[in-house]
Amino acid sequence: MWSLAHEQGIALPTRDFWEFDRMVTVSDPRGVPDLDSLDRIYHLTELIQSSPIAVERSVHAAIGGAYRSQQITTLELRFNPMKRNRGGERDLDHIILAAIRGLDRASLEYPQVRAGLILMMDRTFTVDQNMVVVEKAIRYQSRGVVGVDIAGPRPSGARWDYTQIREHVELARDAGLGVTIHVGEEGGAHGVEELGEVVDTLKPDRIGHGILAARDPELMAAIRGADITLEVCPTSNLLTKALAGDDEVRETFRALIDHGVPFTIATDGPEMMRTHLRDEFELLLRIGALTEDEAVAANYRGHDVSFIGSRTPARA
């Protein structure tokens, strides 16, 4: 990231590498005060990656790094192309094609890895902007785009209406793309309402986080009944204060298991969170959140529910 910024002549807020490192990662072991603080970290990394060459190199490096350091063989990379084109200064198709080139290069170097791209919508975007993201995902489905997602801060912190992207989700699903939705990580009562709305109206294949469901047996039953898999990121949830500590992590996982809610384990960005997938599993085993058999099952499930190779592209 440091080198990419300098190669592009980006004026960074510091000339000291280690200070920069603290700016683009959750470097404080106490985490961040809230998700808005995390979004500020994302903003800087998105700025640096806002060029075709930076996107290509980032995708290629992420796939190669995951395989070399963790032997990850199934990897979905998700990013918002509109947050990497400098507000329209860069052509959106060039940004997406750069990511595809990075994917293609990595597939040649690491043929053992199944990798795909998930294009992200954003809660701060208009309905039309989010539709553009979905249309681009469909356009490049045959080139390695495997799904769509939505994340980002709530505008003004208010409850977000997920029904406004119902058409977007249906269009993506009809085209054969996988659908995952970031929801139910935090937000108290608002977060629980949003999670219920997503399960009832959008019916995604997967949900990013969704940990608030552990407080609501009826919601867990609905998720199980809809065969939705949660993507749970323990370290991220601890660092963002979505879960207060090890005890709450353990209680959350035991509730999901007791109610038969399917879940996978993820990192939410290993570089930013200073973690790896192995670290996540080691944490869960150490604190008694999962047994070894449950950890193995969650790992296998991650491969099984991946969007890579699991969809049939729409016919022209």
Residue 185 falls in the annotated catalytic set: yes
From 77, 63, 143, 73, select the one nearest 113 (Cα to Cα): 73
Helix H segments across 30-161?
A: 35-48, 52-70, 92-109, 127-139
The reported pLDDT for the residue numbered 151 is: 93
pLDDT higher than threshold 90 for residue 31: no
From 183, 256, 261, 173, select the one nearest 225 (Cα to Cα): 261
CA distance 290 to 71: 22
Cα separations in angstroms, 255 against 218, 249, 291, 310: 12, 10, 14, 29
The reported pLDDT for the residue numbered 15 is: 87
Mean pLDDT of 279-298: 96
Q: For 120-167, how does the pLDDT look when each residue is reduced to its tens digit (9 = 90+)?
A: 999 999 999 999 999 999 999 999 999 999 998 888 888 999 999 999
Averaged confidence pLDDT in the chain: 89
Q: For 49-105, how does the pLDDT look when each residue is reduced to its tens digit (9 = 90+)?
A: 778 888 999 999 999 999 998 899 999 999 999 988 777 778 999 999 999 999 999
Q: For 102-126, how does the pLDDT look when each residue is reduced to its tens digit (9 = 90+)?
A: 999 999 999 999 999 999 999 999 9
**CA-based torsion, 127, 184, 313, 139: positive or negative:** positive
Decide if 150 contacts 182 (C-beta within 8 A): yes
Domains, the chain, in order of start with CATH, read: 2-304 (3.20.20.140)
Candidates 56, 185, 194, 280; catalytic one: 185
9 pairs with which residues across the strands? none
The reported pLDDT for the residue numbered 201 is: 97
Rg, Å, the chain Cα set: 19
The reported pLDDT for the residue numbered 35 is: 63
pLDDT higher than threshold 50 for residue 18: yes
248 or 272: which carries more pLDDT confidence?
248
